[in-house]
Amino acid sequence: YDECYGLAFAQQLKNKDIPEGGSKAVNLINVHGLSDVGKNFVMRKSVKAFTDTILDLVVDTEETREKVVDYLGKKEILYLGPDEQVTPGDINWIIRRAEYRGYDTPAAFMSSKPRAGINHKEFGVTSEGVNVYLDVAIRHVLGIDPTKQSFTVKMTGGPDGDVAGNEIKILIREYGENVKIVGIADHSGCAEDPNGLDHEELLRLVNSEMSISNFDKSKLGADGAVHHVNTEEGVKARNSMHNRLEADAFVPAGGRPNTIDIHNYKHFLRDDGSPSSPLIIEGANLFVTNEARQALFDEANVIIVKDSSANKGGVITSSYEICAAMMLTEEEFFQNKAAIVQEVLSKVRDLAKMEATLLFREFENYGGSLPLVSQVISNTINVATDALSVALDNLSKEDRAELLPLFRDHLPKTLAALSFDNVNERVPDQYIKNAIASCLASKLVYKEGTKFIEAQPKEKLANIALQYVLKEKEVAMLKEALASVNMPQQEKDSIIKLLDAGGARTALGKF
């Protein structure tokens, strides 16, 4: 229960940029004494039973109206995303079941569909975001330009894993020989080399979907080693790798929740009290507990980018897939999939860069530990989104239509070009309202910061946000008018920079 609750809490925080809220569900089943065939049967049956239970709550029929107790009092739109032990076969069944049960948009009921979906591992969506945070953090915390200077990384999660495998590929793609991956640990063992593990060998393992214990020892340097978990020494080496090895950054991209906790966090510190890595980017959920995060910061100044910021790329991608399933037919999506996927990856990197920039700006300006700043950003966006959702209920359809460009700008260009003209016919009104609210809230917070939002009276927050949109339009008109003014280009650029930085906020008269 505690793990599910923690994951649900983190999910709500990381969903700040998208129309959907966050949650997590776990099916607990007793497979004791069952054969592999029996275990598989029970797991598939539990997925189906869970799906029907959710559909009971969201599909309005005479039977559900009679038997379901509705405390919410309004129609609810729910979507599912796969996690551990959910197979492609399950996903296809769930879509068919939603259609059979009469769900309005069955193709949008489940993400990561084999054909009309965006496979997270295939396209590395989570790792693309993780690496943006790593890049920004290395520049801010260590003063290193990773495109020009050498740096070291250690990781948990193997080359055959989703986040770790793709992060290996991205690190090598972006930084080449500048990045030295000094250690990797997974379920099979660990490989370590203080001079950096051979890139070609790592890519071979990633592309072959092989674990780190298959690392070719002949590719190691003089001080390198490969440890297997089939020996007691190998288990100890694997379990301690993330603590023992010294590196500029540690990226947990796999491993169990609560691996570093308040009882063992000191193992991450060297004898002199300094950390084995001054920087942690949490690619994996809940790898470090809240108490351990704070203790590492207080005692050793370890800068930690929290999971709900660092690995949000997966939920952003799933949200775009859900939206595409509402706006396009399966064939339309499949024909344009290549373009849409690349645009989604660009959106993931852009949203990660905006949050990472704000994260370090507020950390450097106001202090506090980075995980707390991360949570403040998420909570601030969610509070603004909730206020706007209520306010949008009171707007006329004509006034709400004036805000639709916010939703369009949020979407990948190809998806918007193909179907946005029909958005009101294809997408539920509740989803459109949530999309406008979340787009405006995140835009406002990333641009103006959390202190600006916190300073506004809660009852006026939604109105201020809506006025902000109007002031942005005025600023855009001023910039356009400035283009025809006869003055040196350098002066124009300076004025435009000032207008971009604070024009809308100044026009609002809110500071």
Return the residue matching tokens 């290996």: 168
Q: Please tell me the distance from the alpha carbon of residue 146 to that of residue 225, in angstroms, as a whole number.
A: 26
Measure the N-to-C terminal CA separation of the chain; round to a whole number of Å: 43
Q: Please tell me the distance from the alpha carbon of residue 307 to that of residue 9, in angstroms, as a whole number.
A: 11
Decide: 127 and 160 in contact? Cβ < 8 Å.
Answer: no
Q: Residue 107: how many CB atoms within 10 A of its CB?
A: 21
Return the residue matching tokens 């890139």: 199
| Side chain identity, residue 3 | E
Provide the sign of the torsion angle of the four alpha carbons 320, 9, 379, 389, taken in this order: positive
**For residue 400, what are its two tokens?**
């709400």
- CB within 8 Å of 241: residues ≥ 6 apart: 154, 156, 183, 185, 190, 192
* Residue 153: strand pairing partners: 181, 249
**Helix/strand/coil (H, E, C) string of 374-410?**
HHHHHHHHHHHHHHHHHHHHCCCHHHHHCCHHHHHHH
Catalytic-residue membership of 347: no
Q: Residue 44: how many CB atoms within 10 A of its CB?
A: 16
* Angle made by CA atoms 122, 128, 130, in degrees to the nearest 5: 125
Describe the chain by its helix, strand, coil percentages, rounded to 5. 60, 5, 30
Active-site choice (24, 266, 471, 510): 24
Number of Cα atoms under 13 Å in the Cβ half of residue 238: 23
Decide: 237 and 208 in contact? Cβ < 8 Å.
Answer: no
Sheet of 303-305, strands arranged across: 225-228, 189-192, 179-186, 151-156, 249-252, 279-281, 303-305
**For residue 220, what are its two tokens?**
């190691």
3-state SS assignment for residue 456: coil
CA-derived radius of gyration, the chain: 24
Please identify every residue annotated as catalytic.
Answer: 24
